[in-house]
Amino acid sequence: MNKPLKIGNVTTRGNVFLAPLAGYTNYPFRKICARYGAGLCYTEMVSAKGLKYGSENTKELLYTRPDEGLVAVQIFGSEPDVMRLACESEELAPFPIVDINMGCPVPKIYKNGEGSALLENPALAEKIVEECVKSGKIVTVKFRIGVSAEKIVTEEFAKRMAGAGASLLTVHGRTKDKMYAGEVNFSEIEKAKKAVDVPVIANGGVFSLQDGKELMEKTGADGIMIARASLFDPQVFCEFSGRDRGSRYEMFANQLSMTREVYDERFTTVFMRKMASFYVKGMRGAAAFKERLFKAETPDEVLELARQIWTE
């Protein structure tokens, strides 16, 4: 596993991707995951409308540096002209790949006719892809298999997205109403793979190398995408890349240092407390550690607590 994959006119480092995760996949976290072997990393989900109106919060989500190499941006919205404007914006210039979110199950997004709501409006979804392709970007689509078990749309939706010009499809093998729980439907992802000529990435339920192999074997997908598992353990990518995991503390210290370079002290403290609480899941003494952790008021205090739990 983890072989390079061609998407349009670019080639990824491998075929095990880091999913776009709202609130988490910022530049430092992407850098950490890439270091351990993530073949392609995505930004957090960005509002096309936010870009149109010059939202500073939206722009912050797009922070990157040339040393990151190939990285994809994920945008969401429901207006084809606004989506194309986003693709053509200066803010998206560093990103050759634009992924369109058609799977987000969050009620606020769905009620706005965005994210997974587009599964119920394939004609609009097609128009969005067609308009975004006109920008000259490599356009990809991430979608779910349907909004509910009674409304499965995978095969037809995949055909329409590829037909509209998408260069790669990522299929999350759950319906919108399942959110992030429940069994992943391998056969629906397989149907998408058989229905189109572009690469298909399988997403859902990968927490280990064995999970990843099973997902690839049962779907025939060209690669996999890892989401929540990376929040608990960015070093999960080592299982696929063969890279050395190294020290958990060094990983944390590197992430904190990079986060501090990019963001202010308050954000760094809050964000790295959150990450540390993920990283200790299942460890002995985790509850007591978290209690102390959330009292830490500076990045240095967070780092010292991390040193105590991972090196003593």
Q: Domain of 67: which CATH number?
A: 3.20.20.70
Task: For residues 237 and 112, state if they share a domain.
Answer: yes
In this structure, are residues 138 and 9 in contact, taking their beta carbons and an 8 Å threshold? yes
What digits encode the pLDDT tens for the residues 21-56? 999 999 999 999 999 999 999 999 999 999 999 888
The residue range of the domain holding 142 is 6-241
Q: Which of 220, 241, 262 is the C-terminal boundary of a domain?
A: 241
Rg of the chain, C-alpha, whole Å: 19
pLDDT at 160: 98
In a domain, 1, yes or no: no
pLDDT of residue 7: 98
Q: Which residues contact 77 (CB under 8 A, 6 or more apart)?
A: 47, 48, 49, 83, 86, 114, 128
Instruction: Check whether 312 has a pLDDT greater than 80.
Output: no
Q: Does 311 score more than 90 pLDDT?
A: no
Q: Are residues 235 and 261 in the same domain?
A: no
Q: How high is the pLDDT of residue 270?
A: 97
Over residues 164-182, the mean pLDDT reads 93
Residue 33 annotated as catalytic? no
First CA to last CA distance, the chain:
35
Mean pLDDT of 238-258: 97
* Structure confidence at residue 163 (pLDDT): 98
pLDDT at 59: 85
Asked whether residue 40 is domain-assigned, the answer is yes
Q: What is the pLDDT of residue 310?
A: 92
pLDDT higher than threshold 90 for residue 10: yes
Mean of pLDDT over the chain: 95
From CA 6, how far away is CA 47, in angstroms rounded?
Answer: 27
pLDDT band of 141, cuts 50, 70, 90: very high
Active-site hit among 41, 87, 104, 132: 104
State which of 180, 213, 241 marks the end of a domain. Answer: 241
